[in-house]
Amino acid sequence: MAESSHGGCVSQGVPRRQSARESAARTYARALPIVPVRARGLTIEGADGRRYLDCLSGAGTLALGHNHPVVLEAIRKVLDSGAPLHALDLATPVEDAFVAELFRTLPAGLADHARVQFCGPGGTDAVAAAFKLVREATGRTGMLAFTGAHHNMATSAFDASEEAAGVRVTRLPYPRDYRCPFGVGGTHGAELAARWTESLLDDAASDAPRPAGLIVEAVQSEGGVIPAPDPWMRRMRQITAARSIPLIADEVHTGVGRTGAFWAVEHSGVTPDVMILSKAIGGSLPLSVLVHRDDLGRSERGAPADTFRGNQLALAAGTATLTYVRENGLAERASVLGARMLSRLRDLGQRLSCVGEVRGRGLMLGVELVDPEAGPRHAEAGRSGSAESAATDPRPAAPELAAAVQRECLRRGLIVELGGRHTSVVRLLPPLTISDEQADAVLDRLSDALEAAARGHTSHGRTSPSGHAHHRHGDRPARVGQPAGR
């Protein structure tokens, strides 16, 4: 589509003014220099007239894509009714309808004995509320979390995130095949991770504070799209239950059908004591919810709470989204389509040496990029040449290559996110409403972008074993695609 002069002014002027007026805390705007003006479903139209397939989906917030009719209708209905848009935590018909629909979707073991707490508008607020809940319920202060975790950046939530340097949270090894912390991967690596957790909790000489709770993501999203093995999740439930440690499932990224089950913990059959919900739960509007076992939180009465909790428009949009996902079997659809996309991405990975691993669950997919010219970190693994050694002793991550892939995707009209420990994982989070044809288009554009970036990487520079690129002019690109707030 030809770019109009007016569109050109908008597409160039708005980012320029944003850069001049806003803080350096901007993240997505630097990696994705577009000005969205219209959106529907999977598609965003920029001010310059270009159309993009959006596989960022508001960082996973848009379960039904942009401006889905059922969401818009629900919002208009509240606006046209004259109902209050702000009601604190007063009971309203809108809130009542949301809670009823939420309870229809909860894991059976939790729904039968659950209470709902509306928190501030973001997932960070729900994480902080969960920490406060279990600390008051147990009388303990320590928390357990996992390496690679991203529970966001409020004081309590940031304590459990990978980047934090605080000492109140003890970090445990998260099982993964690629870059396994024990160098073995598979079921053996998961078993070692579980044993480490048991040993830490049962070692009288350990300096870890007695934990008030353990928080876990069934799929680490920002951590690099790493699904936890189902047996390991069940083991974590057994370990925590045997020691009266509340298990907190962070479903901010994974909830509402994203992973191929309505809630990611359902893959393993685990019933957590606490669930943290946000992102898609508000149907594209800010909302966060804490669901917990009813015997927790008995001392909460009269506790301070955020002013902006239970937003009426978000509750209405969230009810519409939950209902639509449930009635139309979108979680099952995500499982089937996600498996097909994962298979095609793995076929692509077999052809491209810059692809270290392809992984995911449902419509949460990730491609980890590595330096194609570097050998394994350890010489012995390199000599063995086996598939197992490649997975457990992989090549160095390639964040610059990942950033190049993101740029090449944008040139082809595809919006993707980056994540992982080294920002070297290309992440796909398409809406659950994506069609087979759209999925093929996404994979075609990503394939082209990967091949183009790999060619450019080979001709313009090489990633060193340290993970830094050697560029022709000595310039190292800025790190982009860092996670923003919840």
Residue of 422, 421, 356, 424 lying closest to 393 (CA atoms)? 356
* Res 303: pLDDT: 56
Residue 2 tokens read as 């030809």
Q: Is pLDDT of 395 > 60?
A: yes
Residue 104 tokens read as 């229809």
Q: Which of 6-15, 50-59, 247-256, 268-277 has the lowest mean pLDDT?
A: 6-15
CA triple 463-406-453, angle to 5 deg: 50
CA dist 430 and 330 (Å) reads 12
* CB contact at 8 A, 247 and 236: yes
Count other C-beta atoms under 10 Å from residue 163's C-beta.
10
Q: Which of 17-26, 102-111, 122-131, 137-146 has the lowest mean pLDDT?
A: 17-26
CA dist 437 and 254 (Å) reads 24
Residue of 3, 29, 77, 47 lying closest to 319 (CA atoms)? 77
Q: Is pLDDT of 382 > 60?
A: no
* pLDDT band (50, 70, 90) for residue 32: confident
Residue 432 tokens read as 């659950």
* pLDDT band (50, 70, 90) for residue 394: confident
Average pLDDT over residues 198-219: 86
pLDDT in tens, 14-28: 667 766 676 666 667
* Res 51: pLDDT: 96
Q: Taking the model in full, what pTM does it have?
A: 0.87
* Res 169: pLDDT: 85
* pLDDT band (50, 70, 90) for residue 341: very high
Residue 395 tokens read as 């090549």
Residue of 181, 193, 183 lying closest to 393 (CA atoms)? 183
Our CA dihedral for 339, 42, 224, 230, rounded to 10 degrees, sits at -40
* Packed helices 312-327 and 330-351: angle between N→C axes, nearest 10 degrees: 80
CA dist 321 and 342 (Å) reads 25
Q: How are strands ordered across the β-sheet holding 425-428?
A: 355-361, 364-369, 425-428, 417-419
Q: Is pLDDT of 370 > 70?
A: yes
* pLDDT band (50, 70, 90) for residue 157: low
Mean pLDDT of all residues belonging to the chain: 85
Q: Which of 2-6, 50-54, 407-411, 417-421 has the lowest mean pLDDT?
A: 2-6
Residue 474 tokens read as 């000595």
* Res 17: pLDDT: 72
CA dist 406 and 31 (Å) reads 8
Q: Give percent above pLDDT 70 in the chain.
A: 79
- Residue 219 sits at φ, ψ, to 5 deg, of -135, 120
* CB contact at 8 A, 283 and 71: yes
Residue 364 tokens read as 């949460």
The more confidently predicted of residues 301 and 68 is 68
* CB contact at 8 A, 110 and 293: yes
Q: Is pLDDT of 284 > 70?
A: yes
* pLDDT band (50, 70, 90) for residue 349: very high
* CB contact at 8 A, 331 and 304: no
CA dist 96 and 100 (Å) reads 6
* Res 25: pLDDT: 63
Q: What is the DSSP track for 287-320?
A: --EEEEETTS-TT-TT----SS-S-HHHHHHHHH
* pLDDT band (50, 70, 90) for residue 152: low
**3-class secondary structure, 211:** strand
Residue of 256, 304, 325, 320 lying closest to 117 (CA atoms)? 304
